[in-house]
Amino acid sequence: MEHQINGVALPNEAGFFGNFGGQFIPPHLKEAMDEINQAYEAIRHTPEFQDELNDLFKNYVGRPSPLFHAKRLSEQLGGAQIYLKREDLNHTGSHKINHCLGEALLAKRLGKKKVIAETGAGQHGVALATAAALLGLECEIHMGVVDIAKEHPNVSRMKILGATLIPVERGAGTLKEAVDSAFESYLEQLDDSMFAIGSVVGPAPYPEMVAYFQSIVGHEAHHQFQQLTGKLPDVITACVGGGSNAMGIFNAFLDDKATKKVGIEPAGEGLDTQYRHAATMSKGVKGEIQGFKCYVLLDEDGNPAPVHSIASGLDYPGVGPQHSYFKDTGDVQYDSATDDECLNAFMLLSRLEGIIPALESSHAVAYAVRTAKNMSKDQTILVNLSGRGDKDIDFVLGQLDVAAYEVK
């Protein structure tokens, strides 16, 4: 593999990032994963594939996404200057379209008729349904019933785009169960379909493949930030559930040791609560989930624990193997933000900059708000604003009296 950090090729031929990742799956599923991996490695560097993907990024997604200096927010906090990588302005409203187009193109090249996936907040589901419509593929999306109730706008978008929505009622009825359900359906349709996972999780080759398609975010930001400010950011932060948007922006800065990279997990109702957070890096242990090794939150019986976040796209008890590896190496640091901090950040950015962020992205904004106050005005924080919050507005209105909200 050509991806190198500190001279170590990532992943190895078995799909491991250090001790994390790999394939822990039945033989018939391994055959399907190997088929996807071989096709991915064979076509991703071909001029035809690159030209088609780059044309779609530019003329369909609207890349490059802008880099924006949040001046009023920075002034309000009185410390570091905060900049936003505006992935929320992409077609479909988040970073998810980046890897969904790559996965859908790959499925098309493999001769598959359908793409199957899970979704939490619905951003991945909308993006995949969009890519499928564009490329003439069928699309099947599995979504927990709790998330369906919270994310009505994205549910409607998926239906309009032609996706078949499969409600998942088992367990907690959220993201982890949706992944399980989608994989089970895929096992029954291996010949005609491709599983198009929504983050840097799952068995190899998905963590590497999704990170590769998302790496455009970091490469753009690396160039844009230097062009705009003449230097690199002091801190880069992004929310982490599975971790696709964080890997996307961290990727290009991993060799820039002076730039601190911080992934923000959901602390939910508090790290000291039982099953009311999803802070895998802070409270998890090394384990295995859904076919790969990573840090994972476990219950008393050693099974993946029920988790909670106000943001449906972050309530996952595992995390991508790259993030697990970077936690151990120290290349990336991991922190968390509570539901209350997230809601405050959501409102702050809305009121001070006229930008309504996704609740997922609001976790990273919350960290920037907390951290900027303790930094000098000549220092900088780059936030990956991974998605827009129109999907969350009804939910937030049910949580806050926004008319009485005061910026402070």
* Catalytic residue list: 96, 118, 386
The DSSP output letter for 26 is: -
- List CB contacts of 239: < 8 A, sequence separation 6 or more: 245, 246, 263, 264, 265, 266, 311, 314, 360, 361, 362, 363, 364, 384, 386
Return the half-sphere exposure (C-beta side, CA atoms, 13 A cut-off) of residue 189.
Answer: 19
138, 186 in Cβ contact below 8 A? no
What is the spatial distance between Cα 334 and Cα 22, in angstroms, rounded to a whole number? 23
How many CB atoms neighbour CB 277 within 10 A?
A: 27
CB proximity list for 213: less than 8 A, separation 6 or greater: 98, 99, 101, 102, 103
> Strand 285-289 to strand 292-296: parallel, antiparallel, or no bridges (unpaired)?
antiparallel
Residue 4 burial (10 A CB sphere; 0-12, 13-18, 19+): exposed
d(CA 297, CA 317) in angstroms, rounded, equals: 5
Give me the half-sphere count of Cα atoms (radius 13 Å) on the Cβ side of residue 395.
23
Structure tokens given for 245? 């948007």
